[in-house]
Amino acid sequence: MRYLVLSDMHGNDEALKTVLRKVRRKRFDATLVLGDLVGYGAAPNQVVEAIRSLPGRVLVVRGNHDKVATGIDSGESFNQVALLAAQWTAQHLTPPNLRYVRDLAAGPREVDEGLAICHGAPIDEDKYLFSDRDAAAVFSSWQVPVTFFGHTHVTSVFSQEGRGIRVRQLVGERGEMELDPAHRYLVNPGSIGQPRDGDPRASYMTYDSRRRRVRWHRVEYPVAEAQERIRRAGLPAVLADRLAVGM
């Protein structure tokens, strides 16, 4: 099976459109969407409608910004900028798109045998996985061989190899790695709409489960257009500024 893996669009229509144009001629058995369709960016309806219009089998889980923007979560853990963006999003989503986002499934969600998706972590959809200690807490109670997750906006792989855990940040315009069937993996495709690894290019992955091969991709998109849309919307300027530096 061949999968397209997308995460953390965050209302950035310019970035998502660029990624979808990049892959439009490729064939996938399913598309996996790891949450946070909305929040931060100023094009929530366009992003939601693009995800709703994806062809074929599409599996989506909700993110923490999806929950706050639709009233499932209060957002009390958010900083002021994130909360303002979520409140703005709630006011601007159309009723059909609001219902769609509100009804997204909580992770983890089984995709196929040996493969699952979630937003934060399979043991807690809001948990951030940054370190080997974070990954160890998951591997101690989660047995699925390969899990794709988002939330941190950092393209990375955690693998349990014997008694140790290996952490790899994936950098560069593109690359690939094969997953050892003797190990278990937590794989983050990075963020399409708001990367935070110092690379402002939109990030996504593909996964071939037969060959156990993950490929990561970084794509330049019209950042200035996304920034201008945020400013015109009256959202906090920092949300536009950070897109240029990928932080």
Task: Give the end-to-end CA distance of the chain in Å, rounded to a whole number.
Answer: 33
Q: What is the reported pLDDT for 142?
A: 97
- Domains of the chain in start order, with CATH, are 2-244 (3.60.21.10)
Q: What is the pLDDT of residue 163?
A: 87
- Of the candidates 190, 177, 76, the residue with the CA atom closest to the CA atom of residue 129: 190
Q: Is 102 helix (H, G, I), strand (E, B) or coil?
A: helix
Q: What are the two backbone dihedrals, phi and then psi, of residue 168, each rounded to the nearest 5 degrees?
A: -130, 125
Give mean pLDDT in consecutive 10-residue pieces for the chain, a chain of 247 residues.
98 98 96 98 98 97 98 96 98 98 98 97 97 96 97 98 94 97 98 97 98 98 98 98 96
Signed CA dihedral, 134, 136, 141, 145: sign only: positive
Tell me what pLDDT residue 33 has: 98
* Cα gap 36→151, rounded to integer Å: 8
Can you give the pTM of this predicted structure? 0.97
Report pLDDT for 186: 98
Report d(CA 91, CA 76) in Å as an integer. Answer: 18
